[in-house]
Amino acid sequence: MGIAILIVIAYLIGSIPTAVWVSKRVYGIDIREHGSGNAGATNTFRILGSKAGSAVMLIDMLKGFVAVKLSILSAYSWGSEPFVNLQVGLGLAAVLGHIFPIWADFRGGKGIATLFGMILGIQPLVAVSLVAVFLFMLMATRYVSLSSISASIAFPLLILFIFREPEMSYRVFAIATACLVVLTHYKNINRLLNGSESKVPLFKKRRMRRRQD
């Protein structure tokens, strides 16, 4: 299958607006009209609780994973440099779709969960390590934003110094991802520093409430 077609399919998969559909069909609200206004797992956790947030996070991760696995439909040899480059491209297309979903007026989330799914599809051991970092920070602090930032910073450290990934495109991607996540979370970082960042409820249901983050 042609590379351009695969990229388009990956974008469309990433565009599935999980948080929007779950909030509208199950809870009767548009998640983008509450909290931070983002259609992602973090805002879903805050507004609708851990059950809805976990479901959205898992499905958004699956989007990145499936998009990367489209690479097997290409003519490239598994594990070759062009194959890895294609995996990175497909994953990024899915993340772009999550941030700018065609199915939801191009208003999506920040793409963190989809990034995790993408990494899981390319290098599972790295993904498991990042999920461990994320969950540890989430359990310790109950800040999804801090957990996401911590995992993103751990990503290039793992790639460069622990797993020693040889593909330059993947190394550049890891560093760029960490920088991008930190930049897109600058408001969260400011709130963390001044103590106003919202924590998420764990192991219990939270009633939806309006909150402008």
Question: CA–CA separation, 139 vs 151, rounded Å?
Answer: 13
Which pLDDT tens digits describe the chain residue by residue (213 residues)? 799 999 999 999 999 999 999 999 999 999 999 988 889 888 898 899 889 999 999 999 999 999 999 999 999 998 888 999 999 999 999 999 999 999 999 999 988 899 999 999 999 999 999 989 999 999 999 898 899 899 999 999 999 999 988 888 889 989 988 998 898 888 889 999 999 888 876 655 444 444 444
Q: Residue 83 is part of which domain span?
A: 3-194
The answer as to whether 207 is a domain residue is: no
The answer as to whether 206 is a domain residue is: no
The answer as to whether 209 is a domain residue is: no
Cβ-count burial of 72 within 10 angstroms (0-12 exposed, 13-18 middle, 19+ buried)?
A: exposed
The answer as to whether 141 is a domain residue is: yes
**Cβ within 8 Å of residue 121, ≥6 positions away:** 64, 65, 66, 67, 68, 69, 87, 91
The answer as to whether 174 is a domain residue is: yes
Return the closest-CA partner of residue 10 out of 129, 75, 91, 84: 91
Question: Looking at residue 213, what is its pLDDT?
Answer: 43
**Cβ within 8 Å of residue 143, ≥6 positions away:** 137, 192, 197, 199, 200
Question: Looking at residue 117, what is its pLDDT?
Answer: 93
The answer as to whether 184 is a domain residue is: yes
Question: CA–CA separation, 159 vs 123, rounded Å?
Answer: 10
The answer as to whether 137 is a domain residue is: yes
**Cβ within 8 Å of residue 128, ≥6 positions away:** 120
Question: Looking at residue 203, what is its pLDDT?
Answer: 56
The answer as to whether 200 is a domain residue is: no
Tally of domains within the chain: 1
Q: What is the pTM of this model?
A: 0.82
Question: Looking at residue 170, what is its pLDDT?
Answer: 86
Question: Looking at residue 206, what is its pLDDT?
Answer: 47
